[in-house]
Amino acid sequence: MEQAGFRKGRGTNEHIFTLRNILEQCSEWQRTIYINFIDFEKAFDSVHRDSLWKILRQYGVPQKLVNIIALFYKDFSCNLKNSNKTFPVKSGVRQGCVMSSLLFSITIDWVLKNAIKQQAPRGIRWTPFEMLEDLDFADDIALVSHKYEHIQEKSTILHSTAKTVGLKTNTGKTKIMTNSEIQQPVMLEN
């Protein structure tokens, strides 16, 4: 798992280089590669806050600090531009808040770790001791595998795990790339 979003000195260029390297090596070794680029709909706006508070506790954040962060989100509302109407905002992380990128990164990390824990390693051999399962930049995920069945399984499990915290896969923007013919499209649900 390799998150490059919201990290100083890291960006999309490193992941583009890594993906290009993977594609070149697979071509050279005549290995099939499947990459599923996952996009989540309105990811920052969708995170269930109750799930976020539980995840923070699982990551060892003291309850007192979780309570303070939750208080910051309690009774949060927005105004419509050029209108006096306000509406409550009950999900998601606050746009523009300095904590939001960290809170969202922790949520995505939890989703990926829990999705990957549910299965045997299904990625590609990256080093003699390490499998590369995915490359991540904020809410953009690239799942990698040498087998279609594995990319299907990984995609389905990631989709269902993400749903538990309010993240919905954007099927219109989620795309699969391969150096071989795809037998069938990746299905996220029955």
For residues 104 and 69, is the Cβ–Cβ distance under 8 A? no
79 versus 30: the higher-pLDDT residue is 30
Minimal CA–CA distance to 144: which of 3, 22, 12? 22
What domains does the chain contain, in order, with CATH numbers?
A: 2-47+93-178 (3.30.70.270)
Q: Name the residue among 119, 122, 125 with its Cα closest to residue 148.
A: 122
Whether residue 41 has pLDDT greater than 90: yes
Average pLDDT of the segment spanning 56-82: 90
- What is the rounded CA–CA span in Å between residue 24 and residue 161? 31
pTM recorded for the entire structure: 0.82
Q: Which tokens belong to 187? A: 């299905």
Mean pLDDT (whole number) for 95-109 = 90
